Amino acid sequence: MFTIPALLFLGVFVFYPLINNIVYSFQSFTLSSATKEWVGLKNYQTLLSDGVIFTSIMNNIRYAIVSIIIQVGFGLVLAAVLEDVAFRRIAPALRSIYFIPTILSMTVVCLLFEFVYNPQMGLLNSFLEAVGLDGLTKVWLGSKKTAMYSVIAVSQWQSTGYIAMLFIVAIQKIPRDLYEAAEVDGASKITRFFYITVPQVRQMFFVTMILTVSGAFTVFNEPYILTGGGPGTATMVLSLHMYQTGFIKNNMGYASTIAILIFVITAVLSSVQFFSFGKKEEDA
């Protein structure tokens, strides 16, 4: 009886829309149309021949690769360094500093980076000029070559501290005597990192991988705010393509089909995470 409100909420606002979305993906309609026309698999055929889908997926994959390298890879190294005894004094302060961007809203972060990337007076270009690297100044968000990576960089700035924090929590659970024993045996810090830290945090490693990859495949806010997918379709990603198809080109049926594509990708990823999490709980 106590679970009824929760089930109602989830049913109406989560599961019912999901089922509707599946139905929509076989239909053709606009925001204002009174009836929805069944078109069978036509939307799915469009999906396969849509060049923008390919661009979007490539950009999502770029997002995922950079996020894995920087957030997961570098985040883990960062966490290990922060947990090193050498930095015991300043680690708490640094930890809090690195975590700050996580608590800021995406809009604020994106607006900040608009100022950073601004070609005339942005912080990045004026910094490059100040240190004599005038040749490297660019129209960061306006050029096809740099736009996508500039957008990706914003997410790294915001989320690396968060992932590092997750790793710190995991590292703190490693029994200290493992390190002490290794130190007695004369293992260097780098050896200890690869032979103790990395294997001991592999659960968290897995979790953060899934987290960043599914984050990379659902990213919406950053390109929406910073570039709107442009220049051209240089920074188009799946969810932005879905949004524009549905609400701007007013092709709701096909947009739902794109949503199904996102759903399949993320559902696979998160069920992997979900079941590994469940397993972890049983182990503990």
Partner 1 sequence: MKTKVKKRRKFGLGEVVWLIILLILAALILYPLFWIIMSSFKDYKGIYGDVWGLPEIWHPENYLTAWNKGISQYFLNSTIVTLATIVGVSLVSTFAAFGVCQMSGRLGNIIFLLCMCGLLLAPQVCVLPLFMLLTKIKIRNTLWAMILPYIAFRLPVSIMMVRAFFVGISKELEEAAIIDGATLLQIYRHIYLPLSKPILATVVVMTAYYGWNEFMFATIFVDSSAIRTIPVGLMVFRDGLMTEWGVVMAGMVIACLPITVLFLFMQKSFVRGMAAGSVKG
Where in 119-138 is the site for partner 1 (CB under 8 A)? Answer: 121, 123, 126, 130
* Residue 107 structure tokens: 């809009």
Alpha carbons 224 and 151: distance in angstroms, whole number: 10
Burial zone of 46 (CB within 10 Å; 0-12 exposed, 13-18 middle, 19+ buried): middle
Instruction: Please report how close the Cβ of residue 75 comes to partner 1 at its closest, in angstroms.
Output: 11
Q: For residues 250 and 70, is the Cβ–Cβ distance under 8 A?
A: no
Question: In the complex with partner 1, which residue's Cβ is closer, 227 or 239?
Answer: 239
Alpha carbons 99 and 164: distance in angstroms, whole number: 9
DSSP 71-110: IIIIHHHHHHHHTSGGGTTTHHHHHHHHHHHHHS-HHHHH
Residues 215 to 234 in contact with partner 1, rule: CB under 8 A: 215, 218, 220-221, 224-225
Residues 152 to 191 in contact with partner 1, rule: CB under 8 A: 157, 159, 161-162, 165-166, 169, 189
Instruction: Please report how close the Cβ of residue 94 comes to partner 1 at its closest, in angstroms.
Output: 6
Q: For residues 250 and 134, is the Cβ–Cβ distance under 8 A?
A: no
**Residues that contact partner 1, how many (by CB under 8 A):** 85
For position 140 contacting partner 1 by CB under 8 A, the verdict is: no
Alpha carbons 283 and 223: distance in angstroms, whole number: 40
Burial zone of 93 (CB within 10 Å; 0-12 exposed, 13-18 middle, 19+ buried): exposed
Which residue in the set 44, 149, 193, 243 belongs to the binding site for partner 1 (CB under 8 A)? 243
Instruction: Please report how close the Cβ of residue 190 comes to partner 1 at its closest, in angstroms.
Output: 8
**Per-position x/- string for 94-123, each x denoting binding to partner 1 as judged by CB under 8 A, each - no binding:** x-xxxxxxxxxxxxx--xx-xxx----x-x
Question: In the complex with partner 1, which residue's Cβ is closer, 99 or 198?
Answer: 99
Which residue in the set 59, 214, 227, 233 belongs to the binding site for partner 1 (CB under 8 A)? 214
Instruction: Please report how close the Cβ of residue 24 comes to partner 1 at its closest, in angstroms.
Output: 6
Residues 23 to 42 in contact with partner 1, rule: CB under 8 A: 24
Single out the segment in contact with partner 1 by CB under 8 A; choices: 58-66, 79-87, 138-146, 192-200: 79-87
Residues 191 to 210 in contact with partner 1, rule: CB under 8 A: 207-208
For position 69 contacting partner 1 by CB under 8 A, the verdict is: no
Burial zone of 232 (CB within 10 Å; 0-12 exposed, 13-18 middle, 19+ buried): exposed
Question: In the complex with partner 1, which residue's Cβ is closer, 35 or 105?
Answer: 105
Question: In the complex with partner 1, which residue's Cβ is closer, 233 or 251?
Answer: 251
Question: In the complex with partner 1, which residue's Cβ is closer, 147 or 242?
Answer: 242
Q: For residues 167 and 189, is the Cβ–Cβ distance under 8 A?
A: no
- Residue 75 CB partners (closer than 8 Å, separation 6+): 160, 163, 164, 166, 167, 208
